[in-house]
């Protein structure tokens, strides 16, 4: 499948639907994050999944295990194809998320969604980690959390493209690596991202999926922008 997941980081269901309709067939799926989910709710996920779209529900659950298990159960009911939690929530929380996804999918007789864990946000660098008391370098912390996610039974992680090679080496060929922080070669303004690569560089490093937002959604012709990026992929 096309590895591009377009981030529908917009403020309304109408804008999200218009973008999805214009991009369908040219990308691999869509990411619904906190902005759109807060504005439009689970109905937005159901609307896209009912059209056959793969939806990555990017809500980054991070709470006590029981609460996260309940949230994942509700996410499964929307038809989401992939959901995520924060790896820093620990192994008990991640195991609860994985078990909840399995049980909820079985109860609803539908495919189990991928459950992945956020390692270190792409807006963070070594200085930001040090500020919150994490003394490891970013790369070491990311690999540590990726290995913890794998041993906790999760399918993969979210990490910056700059850590993909190290994660692939540590966690193997079947581990899913979802990479935000993707900027086409001709659009190298990083905005709030600290650790970025081009789409082709990320895929060559071993990324499974690329989360791309503004380079596509802010383009004058989003579909044309998506197809241009896809053409650069190895």
Q: What are 32-69's pLDDT values in tens digits? A: 999 999 999 999 999 999 999 999 999 999 999 999 99
- Identify the CATH number of the domain in which residue 189 sits: 3.20.20.70
24 DSSP assignment? B
Looking at residues 77-98, what average pLDDT do you find?
Answer: 98
CA-to-CA distance for 206 and 64, rounded, in angstroms? 32
Residue 118, domain extent: 4-231
In whole angstroms, what is the distance from residue 206 CA to residue 193 CA? 20
Q: What is the DSSP letter of 196?
A: -
Exposed / middle / buried, residue 172 (Cβ in 10 Å: 0-12, 13-18, 19+): exposed
Task: Say whether pLDDT at 190 is over 70.
Answer: no
CA–CA separation, 8 and 22 (whole Å): 12
Over residues 127-155, mean pLDDT: 97
pLDDT of residue 187 exceeding 80, the answer is no
The pair phi, psi for residue 224, each rounded to 5°, is -60, -40
Q: What's the pLDDT at 192? A: 52
Give the number of domains in the chain: 1
| 72-86, 126-140, 180-194: segment of lowest average pLDDT | 180-194
The chain-wide mean pLDDT, for the chain, equals 95
Q: What is the pLDDT of residue 191?
A: 52
Catalytic residue ranges? 60
Listed residue (49, 47, 78) closest to 59, CA to CA: 78
pTM: 0.94
User: Tokens at residue 115, please?
Assistant: 């459950």
Backbone angles phi, psi at 11, to 5 degrees: -95, 0
Could you tell me whether strands 176-179 and 209-212 are parallel, antiparallel, or unpaired per DSSP bridges?
parallel
């Amino acid at each position: 499948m096309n590895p591009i997941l377009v981030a529908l980081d917009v403020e309304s269901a109408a804008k999200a639907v218009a973008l999805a309709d214009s991009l369908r067939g040219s990308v691999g799926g869509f990411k619904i994050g906190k902005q759109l989910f807060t504005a439009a709710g689970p109905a937005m996920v159901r609307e896209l999944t009912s059209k056959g779209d793969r939806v990555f529900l990017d809500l980054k659950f991070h709470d006590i295990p029981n609460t996260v298990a309940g949230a994942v159960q509700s996410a499964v009911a929307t038809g989401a194809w992939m959901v995520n939690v924060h790896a820093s929530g620990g192994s008990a929380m991640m195991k609860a998320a994985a078990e909840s996804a399995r049980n909820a999918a079985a109860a609803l007789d539908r495919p189990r969604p991928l459950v992945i864990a956020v390692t270190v946000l792409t807006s963070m660098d070594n200085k930001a980690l040090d500020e919150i008391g994490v003394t490891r370098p970013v790369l070491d912390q990311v690999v540590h959390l990726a290995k913890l996610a794998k041993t906790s039974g999760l399918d993969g992680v979210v990490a910056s493209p700059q850590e993909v090679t190290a994660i692939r080496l540590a966690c193997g060929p079947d581990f899913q690596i979802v990479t935000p922080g993707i900027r086409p070669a001709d659009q190298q303004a990083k905005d709030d991202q600290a650790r970025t690569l081009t789409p082709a560089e990320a895929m060559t490093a071993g990324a499974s999926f690329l989360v791309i937002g503004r380079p596509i959604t802010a383009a004058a012709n989003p579909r044309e922008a998506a197809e241009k990026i896809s053409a650069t992929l190895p």
